[in-house]
Amino acid sequence: MLRFGGVVPAMITPFDKANRFNESAFRELIEANILAGVDGFWLAGGSGESVLLSDEENERLAVAATDQVSGRVTTIMHIGAPTTDRAVTMAEQAAKSGVDALCCVPPFFYRVKERAIIEHYKAVGSASALPLLLYNLPQSTGVDISPALACRIRDVVPSVVGLKHSGPIVENTYGFAAAGFNCFIGYATLMLPGLNMGAVGCIDGPLTIAPELWVAIWRSVCAQDLAAAQKAQKRAAEFATAVYDIGFLDVLKAGCTMRYQVECGSPRLPQLPLTSDQRIALEGILHSFDLL
């Protein structure tokens, strides 16, 4: 049975200097994260610039990930899109690539009623036999998936097995867990509190740069060493806060380039790369955490 839990980096999508998908760098990032002890990958999510990728790029990314992972950890592919037809097409493509599970934000840009959200997930869930995870990201979608709404979606989409909860009401983690969802906390700064509320693991972008910081939390929790888990959480939160104080996609890409010495490129426009001063600041953070 497929296991959902632990440390699951929200992978970036590396680009080369011509702004094309850099498959070799992507494979190196996957391998480095696996060697660090992660439990899976969240592919083409917000940190992976999902809505800025073409369908062809999403398909290439999924194929490369499943080939490189080769069954060693869990692969969860994001296929969310503003139209149901496109989300369904990407779900079908991802399933053919061999990923273990799918994830999907609710439809965005145009506000729709709850019935339309449920019908959207019903169509996506029917596109493949894979487990489906909801992606609660109201900051970007305008839809906050509550435990009650998640249950109503699952009532008509039985393939829904969990979600990534990146909503502002963190305490809803209790409700998701109580309802039997595999709930990943979507905040790198809150992995241990999330686990204490019933989350099964953590998914976020900074995990890609320094997965060992969050693996230390997970392993300490599994060993029932609360003191070690708290110490590891403090260090991981300090790192995540420091890098996010500089930026988001620009920081994740530059951080991975610096840490792993592979070309990850810049974010796609309209997102901008780091300034020279920001790069110096990021490099200083990586050095202070012994990551360079």
Please pick, among 121, 135, 187, 260, the residue that the annotation labels catalytic: 135
**Does the annotation mark 164 as catalytic?**
yes
Please pick, among 121, 164, 253, 260, the residue that the annotation labels catalytic: 164
**DSSP-derived secondary structure for the chain:** -----EEEEB----B-TTSSB-HHHHHHHHHHHHHTT--EEEESSTTTTGGGS-HHHHHHHHHHHHHHHTTSSEEEEE---SSHHHHHHHHHHHHHHT-SEEEEPPP-SS---HHHHHHHHHHHHHT-SS-EEEEE-HHHHS----HHHHHHHHHH-TTEEEEEE-SS-TTHHHHHHHTT-EEEE--GGGHHHHHHTT--EEEETHHHH-HHHHHHHHHHHHTT-HHHHHHHHHHHHHHHHHHHTT-SHHHHHHHHHHHH-S----PPTTS-PPPHHHHHHHHHHHHHTT--
**Does the annotation mark 135 as catalytic?**
yes
Residues serving a catalytic function are: 135, 164
